[in-house]
Chains A and B, each alone.
Chain A
Amino acid sequence: MGFDNHLPTRRELLVGSGALFAWSQMPRIARAEGRDPRLLVVVLRGALDGLGAVAPVGDPDWVGLRGDRALVLDGKPPALPLDSFFALNPAMPNLHRLYKTGKAAIVHAAATPYRERSHFDGQDVLESGFTKPGATASGWLNRALLATESGGRVDPRGSRALGIGSVTPLVVRGSAPVMTWVPQKLLPASEDTQNRLLDLYQHTDPKLATVLQARMKLASLGGAPGTGDPMSDDPTLMPPGIARVRAYFAEAAGTAARYLAKPDGPRVGAMGFVGWDTHIAEGAASGQLYNLLGALDGAFAAIESNMGEVWGETVVAVVTEFGRTARINGTQGTDHGTGTVAFLIGGALTGGRVIADWPGLKSAQLFEDRDLKPTTDLRAVLKGLLRDHLRVEEKVLADAVFPGSADVKPMGGLVG
């Protein structure tokens, strides 16, 4: 069964015999050009609040919308200015630095074609590349990899993708082989999951609620190392503090980068980070979301440093299934919405800009009078990256990688 895995395992399942066929890892056409591009996709599961990550501080309706929860340039801490209109969450100094040096771009008010608000279905659409949710066995990144190899045929000698985590993200699953790596630091149930379970128990089973609450309290009091708390030695008894989340993000992302950087390693990879479903006490400026974005920013630093010399040939696309409500809800959080941001970082990017066809924040400008209206199709961004970075042909992108997307033109000029 599955209950286990508390014995931390570090496994690497290599498919095929990697090192002997290093050349086959490299997308065929790019190889012909003497390039060796890398693409890492990071899926933020739970739906990131794009407005809490990248705030439209220049929009006259912004502060009215979020009140004292709005990120502002003179806030505490102050948001980091990106241009005259947008500012970045202060938890992300690395991203800010990359942006300033042209190695990061932000796409705002973007969304997949999915217009409902179910996480699972939204993630299916985001990762499968299809226009509708439903059972699909493969993801767009895997199909794109197939397209770059030998005219669409899998090279049996080892063209492969990288999946990080004990479950391979759907985006990278498919008929091209996937090697997976499971981080050593297994992330126990998140604070968010614990809070939800506690809420559930409070409504259904007071006894279980009491026990769970006591455990959470104990961990928050004595969880820090060095306090002499006997519990602190046992990771299974502690809910993860933000320090552990940061460590997990950095290890997972850093390892992905190390594999992609290897001369004979895979060239595309994918990983997921959970915890973005901030219904209660979102804490964009200080709190839950701030902490998570900080951990993500640390993951960016780990990727940059571990890519080493091939950073210049790297693109990382950070995407989420949908956004959140434009307004704050009754519990100082945000509910499921539509338009949100995507982060693009990497030495191969032509960045330093926020790409947005800004829809505005007035009631009538919001999607269904509640969400940031999506004005950019996320598939256009991804197709642009696949075409210009990995050299996947446009027709293949429209037919096989993102079926039914012929009228969604690849966005040009993202990579240099």
Chain B
Amino acid sequence: MSNSAKAEAVLALHRFGMGPRPGSLAAVGTDPRGALIAELDRPLALSAAASLPTSAKAYRTVADANARRAARAKQAQQQAKKQQVAAVPTAPGDQAQAQAQTEGQAPAQGQEKDAAEMAAKQAADAVPDPGRPIYLQEAKLRTEAALAADIGFAERLVWFWSNHFCISAYKIQSMSGAYEREAIRANALGHFVDLLLAVEGHPAMLFYLDNLGSMGANSIAGINRSRGLNENIAREIIELHTLGVRTGYTQDDVISFANVLTGWTLVPPGDNPEHGGEFTFNPRLHEPGGQTVLGKRYEQEDAEQGRAVLRDLAAHPATATHVATKLARHFVADEPPPPLVEQMAKTFRDTEGDLKQVAITMVSSDDAWRGSPSKLKRPSEWGVGMVRATGITVVDPTRFTAGQELLGEGLWRPSAPKGYPDDEASWIDGIGRRLDIANNFAERVAATADPQGIIEDVFASQIAPEVKQAVGRAESRQQALALLFMSADFQRR
């Protein structure tokens, strides 16, 4: 392979894949664009995911644990109160006083109440939270898929869409991994409209953006209750997921769309051990009648009304531009070349949002390959790239997710529905933390990872001479690896 072919192969791995790993250069071969496109034809599903619960099952598991916790807490609290009653001196007439104490009228009530609450809390804590282990298993599977991928272009697309349509594990931990598998991974290379329908109808998203209890003012539930409409999901779908901010929609559009989406909720887990946690349309919450969104009247009944609006949003030209811009910004440059964005938006429009075709347009365009690597990798990409370079394919998810957290990009934990940012300014100040992480990782792998071997075999020596020199002169393998992982060649793509 010529030097320029090697350089393009390495660039392909950094820019569009998960970074070079042993054997990945051979996988790219002499036709990087063709290899990237070929990877999109392989199945994206995670075969090992069969052992993981569906989002609904995960949700039910947590709900069950919560119910057990509440029951234990109640029991413990009652027991603590009984003991207090028994401990009260039993002089004649004290019975009434003891009774009064338990009802909270005696002077010592505060203390006793605390004791009962503490007992309740202890009893509750004895029931472990099943959400955390599920999250960790999901994290392990997802990370190992990224480590094992030959190139990782398809995995990068999953990550991209997962961030575009983010939810937060802070709010809905048990479902966070299953959400990505069920809604994102299953549709990341399909048509945008199917991805959008899967995402917005997923219980995790409805939970995350507060739609579960949203009800129309004139719905059956709304008439009887003081609660009402929640606009959150409607606004974020328009502003973040489809058209983009400042694309001409109004507050009235948001309210109408929110009304359209009333009734999109999930089956309560308590009364349905088989389907609890699954999506359902609840007509009792739904605002009856037609709605006007972006100038178009929607008269459909039930959930079809919302689906119709989502289909139109997916087909809107502003959505094509918004999606093309974000994709190009993520993969190519903070300020992507306008012709590239336009080519991708055109493909989106011409193919009814075929996301595989949009991805192919991107990697087929010379504009996506020009220029020296200026894009600063996000912490997650950098971290996975570092592990890949050493050939390690198995991770400890506790450690891995803690590291991502420390670097400010906790897995499935962005601080807002906008997801993690995709520009250098947001991440460059974290370089110091990356150094500590790199140093630490280097210490742990120094016994088995050979820095020179990584440069020659994994990177085909496509790395700045200054880096080679610094690695060669390092005082230990650990230091050599830390410098390599921290080099601009490793940080930028």
Contacts and interface: CB of A to CB of B under 8 A. Distances in A.
Given A166-B444, A167-B446, A207 B428 contact: yes
Contacts of B443: 165-167
Interface string A208-238: 1001100100000000000000000000110
A361 interface: no
Contacts of A211: 428-429, 431-432
A208 B436 contact: no
Nearest to A336: B473
Contacts of A57: none
A401 interface: no
Interface in A151-183: 165-168, 170, 173
A120 B477 contact: yes
| Band of interface residues on A | 35 or more
B476 A119 contact: yes
B490 to A, nearest CB: 11
Interface in A80-122: 118-120
B14 to A, nearest CB: 15
Contact of A277 (B438, B440, B447, B475): B475
A197 B492 contact: no
A363 interface: no
Given A3-B399, A6-B402, A46 B475 contact: yes
A360 B431 CA distance: 47
B447 A236 contact: no
A189 B439 contact: yes
B431 A274 contact: no
A6 B475 contact: no
Given A188-B439, A200-B470, A1 B479 contact: no
Best-buried of B386, B429, B476, B489 by chain A (most CB within 10 Å):
B476
Interface string B437-452: 1111101111100000
Nearest to B441: A2
B440 to A, nearest CB: 5
B476 A4 contact: no
B493 to A, nearest CB: 13
A194 interface: yes
A186 B478 CA distance: 14
Contacts of B168: none
Nearest to A189: B439
Given A1-B387, A1-B395, A237-B432, A200 B402 contact: no
Given A193-B479, A203-B466, A275-B475, A2 B444 contact: yes
B474 interface: yes
Interface stretch (B176-184, B218-226, B480-488): B480-488
A199 interface: yes
| Chain B contact residues, majority secondary structure | helix
A5 B476 contact: no
A167 B441 CA distance: 10
A276 interface: yes
Contacts of B400: 1-4
A45 interface: yes
A47 B475 contact: yes
Contact of A3 (B383, B466, B467, B492): B383
A173 B404 CA distance: 31
A7 interface: yes
Best-buried of A6, A186, A189, A194 by chain B (most CB within 10 Å):
A189
B67 interface: no
B5 interface: no
B467 A189 contact: no
B403 A200 contact: no
B432 A215 contact: yes
B171 interface: no
Nearest to B479: A193
B466 to A, nearest CB: 5
A276 B475 contact: yes
Given A188-B436, A212-B432, A275-B475, A3 B488 contact: no
Nearest to A170: B447
Interface in B405-461: 406-407, 424, 428-429, 431-433, 435-441, 443-447
A192 B437 contact: no
Interface string B380-395: 0001101100001001
A1 B403 contact: yes
A395 interface: no
A76 to B, nearest CB: 28
A196 interface: yes
B152 to A, nearest CB: 15
A188 B479 CA distance: 11
B291 interface: no
A201 B488 contact: yes
A194 B435 contact: yes
Given A203-B466, A208-B431, A274-B478, A2 B403 contact: yes
Contacts of B403: 1-4, 6
Given A5-B444, A170-B447, A200-B467, A205 B488 contact: yes
A186 B442 CA distance: 13
Best-buried of B399, B402, B489 by chain A (most CB within 10 Å):
B399
A331 interface: no
B143 interface: yes
A4 B482 CA distance: 14
Interface in B316-374: none
Contacts of A168: 447
B96 interface: no
B143 A45 contact: no
A123 interface: yes
A135 to B, nearest CB: 9
Nearest to A277: B475
B458 to A, nearest CB: 16
Contacts of A197: 435, 470, 482-483, 486
A274 B442 CA distance: 13
A81 to B, nearest CB: 30
A366 B350 CA distance: 76
Interface of B: 143, 383-384, 386-387, 392, 395-396, 399-400, 402-404, 406-407, 424, 428-429, 431-433, 435-441, 443-447, 464, 466-467, 470, 472-480, 482-483, 486-489, 491-492
Given A2-B400, A6-B437, A192-B479, 11 more contacts: A1-B387, A3-B407, A4-B399, A6-B436, A168-B447, A170-B447, A197-B486, A204-B489, A205-B491, A236-B432, A274-B475
6 contacts: A3-B399, A4-B400, A4-B403, A47-B475, A119-B476, A200-B467
Interface of A: 1-7, 45-47, 118-120, 123, 165-168, 170, 173, 186, 188-190, 192-194, 196-197, 199-201, 203-205, 207-208, 211-212, 215, 236-237, 274-277, 279
Q: Which 9 A-B pairs have the closest CB atoms?
A: A277-B475, A3-B403, A46-B475, A2-B441, A205-B488, A4-B399, A189-B439, A215-B432, A1-B387
